[in-house]
Amino acid sequence: METDPRLYVTLPGLPMKNPVMPASGCFAFGREYAELFDLEELGAVAIKGTTGEARIGNPTPRVAETPSGMLNAIGLQNPGAQAVRDEELPFLANYDVPVLANVSGSTPEEYVVVVQTLNDAPNVGAFELNISCPNVKEGGIQFGTDPDAAAALTEAVKRVSTKPVYVKLSPNVTDVTAIARAVEAAGANGLTLINTLLGMRIDAGTGKPVLANEKGGLSGPAVKPIALRMIHDVRQGTKLPIIGMGGVQSAEDVIEFLVAGADVVAVGTANFSNPFVCPTIIRELPEWLDKLDVAHIGALRWQGEKI
Amino acid sequence: MKNESLTVVENKTIAAKTHEMTLSGPLVDAIDQPGTFLHVAVPGEDLVLRRPISIAAVNQGAGTCAIVYKEEGDGTERLARCRAGDQLEVLGPLGNQGFPVEEPLPGDDVLLIGGGVGVPPLYFATCELVKRGVSVSVILGFQTAAAVFYARAFNELPGCDVHVMTDDGSNGRAGTVIDALNERPYAPDWLFSCGPRGMLRAIETNAADSKTHGYVSLEERMGCGIGACFACVCETNDGASYRKICRDGPVFAFKEVVL
């Protein structure tokens, strides 16, 4: 696919030929989608959350549909950092696309181990610290809801990382800007937001929760207004680049996220309803630039007068 | 694996809350294995997950396939409202492991057991088996007479011996498919099954230690349908690993995974 130069966006560690990447956890390690389209069409790929050791995840059912959204409680199932480095990242290295490696853990030491293990993978452009997984007791959300803990974790990872570090913020907090400022002060190179919102569904017929884990992370178009509001709030409190996400499913949504203050966007749940959603959005973006009469996609980003 | 708009040729009610939809489009060319499924996008943007539906029959000459689904929630209710000429976004065929219909030899004792909406993929499997000259016995289980479908279609296949069981005895005989299985004097050479998990567990328990080559087709709530989201996993029997139902199945050999 010919790349429109108006779509190039360079973030720390991530030289992207367009501002669209699949979100972590919705794209595994790219193998399945590579059967459907050329991964080089994407701006970047965010890989599935990786922990120090392999994790088997939660019992099924792990997903439930909600109005304009879905709940998931996968539980960070992944093969562990070494297997990701040795078996998954080399596959993605066949494609000219930067990788954002999502790092999860129960303790700061585990995050550090994952980063140390993946540091030398040449196609990992940057790390994304998942301090916001709502689906496991030790999935990092304890770091994502307390500014001091988030800052301490960011510092610990920054000490060992040879790549830029993004911190993925949780929306399950009262003041997301306080966490953003804390991780910025601790040396974060960028922010990712939002992760899923903690939710629940109950089967009226049985009176039992639909998910085996009872609660799960809400995603999809239902969360888009919340994501836009939080990105807009955070944009006013930090200069860090923002990877925005939460219900993106069209080129029009991408424009909304950029105008709210994101630098690029990630697409999550929409990959499930339409596995071609990312390349489709990327193809449609130039028309939007024509329509809005902008010379470069970066010009759309809300600049944040209050910074 | 393709993603296409398929055209609804026919959408009819075949039993209580149970519908058979015939679809046409080039994607049908790729359907060659019973047990595989289609991931169907439901009309309306508010339903974000596709619905995995097993393939009940394929007619390559006509370029059509049939799927059977039960009206259980918002998604399947919308599918039930589709009319001839409507278009549906379909990804498929999905699944890398279907029923091994090419393996039984004519003369082998082949038994297929289906429960409720687990019956359709077994119809596809039976069609392929009888095409190869293999005679089969089929046990179909339903709650009640109003839920029974495909019994006549199975009966019309050559060399197909059909037993219908209903919980209340309102059609066929009263009892479960397990009752019918246990009445058989000897274990079959091949046993293909699809239905509720409890039924599959009971079938495996009753037949696993015999000479039988047994296979079960599993259902689970799915996200992507292609193996990327890790929603529909099941544990291997040795507890050491897992399988993705959408990608590694949906058909598994007895004892391959925990039912």
Q: Is the pLDDT of residue A141 over 60?
A: yes
Would you call A63 exposed, middle or buried from its count of C-beta atoms within 10 A (0-12, 13-18, 19+)?
buried
Q: Is the pLDDT of residue A307 over 80?
A: no
pLDDT of res. A136: 60
A274 neighbourhood in chain B, CB within 8 Å:
3, 41, 89
Q: Is the pLDDT of residue A274 over 90?
A: yes
Neighbours of B140 (CB within 10 A): 28
pLDDT in tens, A192-218: 999 999 999 999 999 999 999 999 999
d(CA A274, CA A282): 14
pLDDT of res. A84: 98
pLDDT in tens, B133-150: 999 999 999 999 999 999
Number of residues written out for chain B: 259
Which CATH number fits the domain B2-93, given the four candidates 3.30.450.20, 2.10.77.10, 2.40.30.10, 3.30.428.10?
Answer: 2.40.30.10
- Tell how strand A208-209 and strand B160-166 pair up: unpaired
Nearby residues of B40 by Cβ (< 8 Å), 6 or more positions away: B50, B51, B52, B53, B67, B79, B88, B89, B90
Point out the residue among B49, B227, B242 whose CB comes nearest to the CB of A273.
Answer: B49
B46 with A67: Cβ contact below 8 A: yes
CB pairs under 8 A between A and B: 98
Q: How large is the average pLDDT for residues A261-289?
A: 97
Point out the residue among A36, A65, A270 whose CB comes nearest to the CB of B47.
Answer: A65
A26 with B224: Cβ contact below 8 A: yes
Any alpha helices (H) in A120-242, and if so which ranges? 141-144, 147-160, 176-185, 224-235
Confidence band, pLDDT 50/70/90 cuts, at residue A165: very high
Question: Hey, is the C-beta of B89 within 8 angstroms of any chain A C-beta?
Answer: yes
Confidence band, pLDDT 50/70/90 cuts, at residue B239: confident
What is the CATH code for B110-253?
A: 3.40.50.80
3-state percent breakdown (helix, strand, coil) of chain A, nearest 5 = 35, 20, 45
Which residue is closest to A62 within chain B, CA to CA?
A: B231
Point out the residue among B75, B221, B229 whose CB comes nearest to the CB of A61.
Answer: B221
What stretch of H or E contains A11?
strand A9-11
Q: Is the pLDDT of residue B83 over 90?
A: yes
Number of residues written out for chain A: 307
Q: How large is the average pLDDT for residues B46-67?
A: 96
Q: For all residues of chain A together, what is the average pLDDT? A: 94
Measure CA of the first residue to CA of the last residue in chain A; give whole Å.
37
Q: Is the pLDDT of residue B163 over 70?
A: yes
d(CA B91, CA A272): 11
d(CA A167, CA A193): 8
A60 with B233: Cβ contact below 8 A: yes
pLDDT of res. A1: 59
d(CA A78, CA A54): 6
Q: What are the structure tokens assigned to B110, written together?
A: 């082949």
Choose among A241, A238, A265: nearest CA to A190. Answer: A241
Question: Hey, is the C-beta of B182 within 8 angstroms of any chain A C-beta?
Answer: no
Choose among A237, A160, A251: nearest CA to A193. Answer: A237
Q: How large is the average pLDDT for residues A101-123?
A: 95
Q: Which residues of B33-58 are buried (b: 16+ CB within 10 A; e: fewer)?
A: bbbbbbbbbbeeeebbbbbbbbbbbb
B70 neighbourhood in chain A, CB within 8 Å:
none
Report the amino acid identity of residue A91. Answer: F
Interface of B with A in 208-237 (CB under 8 A): 220-235
Answer whether 0.80 is exceeded by the pTM: yes
Q: How large is the average pLDDT for residues B109-133?
A: 97
pLDDT of res. A260: 95
Interface with A, mutate which of B4, B224, B236, B238 (most A CBs under 10 A): B224
A271 neighbourhood in chain B, CB within 8 Å:
224, 228
**Higher confidence at residue A141 or residue A255?**
A255
Interface with A, mutate which of B230, B233, B257 (most A CBs under 10 A): B230
B48 neighbourhood in chain A, CB within 8 Å:
65, 68-70, 220-221, 269-270, 272-273
pLDDT of res. A73: 95
Annotated active-site residue A26? The verdict is no
Which residue is closest to B247 within chain A, CA to CA?
A: A32
Q: Is the pLDDT of residue B52 over 90?
A: yes
Q: What are the structure tokens assigned to B199, written together?
A: 């039924």
Q: How large is the average pLDDT for residues A115-119?
A: 98
Q: Active site residue: A133, A150, A169, A265, which one?
A: A133
Confidence band, pLDDT 50/70/90 cuts, at residue B45: confident
Point out the residue among B91, B222, B230 whose CB comes nearest to the CB of A77.
Answer: B230
CA distances to A98, A234, B98, B186, B197 from B210, rounded to whole Å, are 52, 64, 22, 9, 20
Q: How large is the average pLDDT for residues B83-102?
A: 97
Q: Is the pLDDT of residue A21 over 80?
A: yes
Share of chain B above pLDDT 70, in %: 100
Confidence band, pLDDT 50/70/90 cuts, at residue A134: low
What is the CATH code for A5-299?
A: 3.20.20.70
B46 neighbourhood in chain A, CB within 8 Å:
67-68, 221
ipTM of the prediction: 0.92
Q: Is the pLDDT of residue A74 over 50?
A: yes
